[in-house]
Amino acid sequence: MRPLLDIKGSPERRRCTPRPEIALTVFGAFLSYACGGCLSNEYVIPKTELARLTQIPPEQRGQRVHVVQGLGSRRADAIDTTQPLPPPGYDQQGGYGQPPEGYVESGPEPNVGVGIMIAPGPPPLVPPLPPGPGFVGGHGHRSPGFMGRNVRPPRRPRATGHTGGNLGGGKLGKSGGKDEMIVFLVVVAVLATIGMVATEGARYDGDVAMYPWQSVYLKDGNDQIREVPLAQLTAADVATAEEATVADDEGWGMMRLGRRPLDRKGFAYKMDVGIFRSSSAGVDADGTGLNLQFGYFPHRFVGLLGTWSFAGGTNSVDHSFYRNSLSLEAEVFPVHLWRLHLGAFGHVGNQWAHEEDMGTRDGLALGGGGLLEIELTTRLTLAFRADYTTAKAGPDSNRWQSGMLFTAGVAIY
C-alpha cells in the first residue's frame, strides 16, 4: 500500500506543485478587471466648462455641454433621448423654454430582485481517462465504480529534447521556465490591454445636450454633495465646487452630440506586436517582437514613454535567439490628416542579446523610427510602428548589431 504522503519527486507530488503560469494567468485576469472596470452612468463636467456655462443664459445652457464619462458601477440604463426628440419645450433657435408641466427631475426607481444562477464548474485540470473498468459509454458518464482505489489516471510520459517556447516559429533555447515566464507575461499584458480598451479607450469624452433643469451634483472640499439644476448654477457654485457630475439615467437624459478629437494629453499606455528581423555575425534572424510602453504626454502632440521591447525566434542556422531591451523614448506627432496621425520617435536604453550556444551580452542601444496612428475615439487609436535599433551587444568584434521591428497594436491615452 502506498503511503498517503509520497516522497519528493513522485507523480502525486508533481501534480500538486504550484505552476507559475497558472498564477500569472489568474493575475492577468485580475489585472484586466482592475485596469478596465465599468463605464458609469455618471459624467464629470470639467471645471472650465462649468465656469463657461454660468456665462450663458440659463435657458440655453443645455444645448452643448462638455462631459467626460466616469469609470465605476452603472445603476441603470441610459435614458433614450430619441423618444421624444426633441424634448418638450425645445426650440432650435432659442434653446429650452420653461420646463413642461408635470416635468419631474428624478432618477429611475430602483428595481430589486432575487434570483439564483446555476453555472457549470471549472473544467478538470487533468485530461479525461480512456474507457476502462467502471466506464459507461455515451457522454462520458462514469459509474460509481470509477472511484475504486485501484483505478489510477495514466502517468504522463517524460518529455525529451528541448522544451523552449515557440515565438516567431522557432525555439527560444534551453531556458525552459524563463521562456514560459516571458510568454505568460505577454498574456498578462494582453489581458490588461483588452480591459483598458473596453473601458478607458471606449468611454465618452465629448459634448451632450441636456435639459437646463437637469440635476448637477456639486461636491465641495469637504466631500459634501449638493444638487443644483443646470439653469441655476452660479459663479459662487463653481468657485466652491471640487467636482461636478451629471447622470444619463435621470430626467430627460443626455443626447450625445459627438466625441472630441483625439487628445493625448495625460498618461499613455501602448502595446503592439509584430515581426522582427536582424543580422548578427552574418547570420539572419527572424522572429516575433512586441513593445509595451507607459508614459506621459504633457502636450497633445509630444510625449515621453518608458519602453520594454522583446523579440525572439530562430536564426538561419536553427539556433534560438532573443533581444530584450529597456529604453526611454520621446514621441512627436506633427502631421494630422483627418483621423490619421503621423509621427516619429527616438529612444536610448540598454539591450540584452542572446543566441543559443553563444551566451548573453548587453550594451547601449539606440534607435528610432516612424509612427502611424488611426484615431478611433478621444482616447484610443490603432497604432503602427517601424523601429530600427542598433545595440553594442553583438557577438563579433564589431559588437554593434542592428534589428528592425514592425508592429501593430493600440494606444490608450
All structural domains of the chain: 39-97+203-259 (no CATH), 266-412 (2.40.160.20)
Give the residue ranges of DSSP H helices in 7-80.
11-16, 20-36, 47-53
Q: Which of 298, 279, 280, 264 is nearest to 412 (CA)?
A: 264
pLDDT for residue 351: 94
Neighbouring CB atoms inside 10 A of 341's CB total 21
> What is the DSSP code string of 114-173?
--------PPPSSPPPPS-TTB-SSSS-B-GGGG-TT--PPPPPPP-S-----GGGS---
Q: Which of 348, 288, 291, 293 is nearest to 322 (CA)?
A: 288
What is the end-to-end Cα distance of the chain in Å, rounded? 63
Three-state helix/strand/coil letters over 11-30: HHHHHHCCCHHHHHHHHHHH
pLDDT in 10s for each residue of the chain, 413 residues: 444 444 444 444 444 444 544 544 554 554 444 455 588 899 999 999 999 999 999 989 999 999 999 988 788 888 888 765 444 444 444 444 455 444 444 433 333 333 333 334 443 333 443 444 433 344 333 333 333 334 344 444 444 443 333 443 344 444 445 566 666 677 777 887 887 887 887 889 999 999 888 999 999 989 999 999 999 999 999 999 999 999 999 888 899 999 999 999 999 999 999 999 987 656 678 899 999 999 999 999 999 999 999 998 888 778 888 899 999 999 999 999 999 999 999 999 999 988 877 778 899 999 999 999 999 999 999 999 999 999 998 776 568 888 999 999 999 99
Count of helices and strands (H, E) across the chain: 5, 17
Return the C-alpha cell found at 56. Answer: 450663458
**CA 337 to CA 121: how far, in whole Å?**
51
Return the C-alpha cell found at 165. Answer: 517556447
pLDDT for residue 285: 80
**CA 127 to CA 12: how far, in whole Å?**
15
Return the C-alpha cell found at 168. Answer: 516567431
Contact 130, 142 (CB under 8 A): no
Return the C-alpha cell found at 274. Answer: 509584430
pLDDT for residue 229: 93
